[in-house]
């Protein structure tokens, strides 16, 4: 997985499965774009990703999450629930504002 933290008054945490990076998915009028400029940060293991999510979720942050593995990490860290997950062309994603 790739994780990139965009520092701002409210950090934006972009998490994306490695195999989805740079790809765009469209379904009807909806689009999911895993742009490298937004998502390509540090490549992290599942454990490291969970550690980062847990640490940052204690602060005010926004999360943008794309992919099966990335979404599962967010579920495991309890920052999203099943009903907060949407799909475009079968690719799960979630947006979280803490």
What are the structural domain ranges in the chain?
Answer: 2-97
Best CA proximity match to 53, nearest among 23, 13, 96: 13
- The CATH number of the structural domain formed by 2-97 is 3.30.1860.10
Query: Crossing angle, helix 68-76 and helix 46-56, to 10 degrees?
Result: 50
pTM for this entry: 0.94
pLDDT digits (tens, 9 = 90+) for 73-87: 999 999 999 999 999
- 28: three-class secondary structure by DSSP: coil
- Report the distance separating Cα 21 and Cα 29, nearest Å: 21
Instruction: List residues bridging with 6 in a β-sheet.
Output: 12
Residue 72 has pLDDT above 80, yes or no: yes
- Given the structure tokens 């599962």, which residue do they identify? 72
């Amino acid at each position: 997985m790739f994780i990139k933290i965009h520092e701002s008054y409210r950090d934006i945490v972009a998490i994306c499965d490695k195999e989805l990076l740079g790809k765009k998915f469209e379904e009807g009028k909806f689009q999911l774009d895993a742009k490298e400029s937004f998502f390509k940060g540090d490549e992290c293991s599942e454990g490291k990703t969970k550690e980062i999510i847990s640490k940052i979720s204690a602060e005010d942050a926004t999360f943008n999450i794309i992919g099966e593995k990335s979404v599962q990490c967010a579920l495991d860290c309890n920052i999203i629930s099943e009903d907060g997950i949407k799909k475009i062309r079968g690719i799960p994603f979630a947006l979280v504002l803490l």
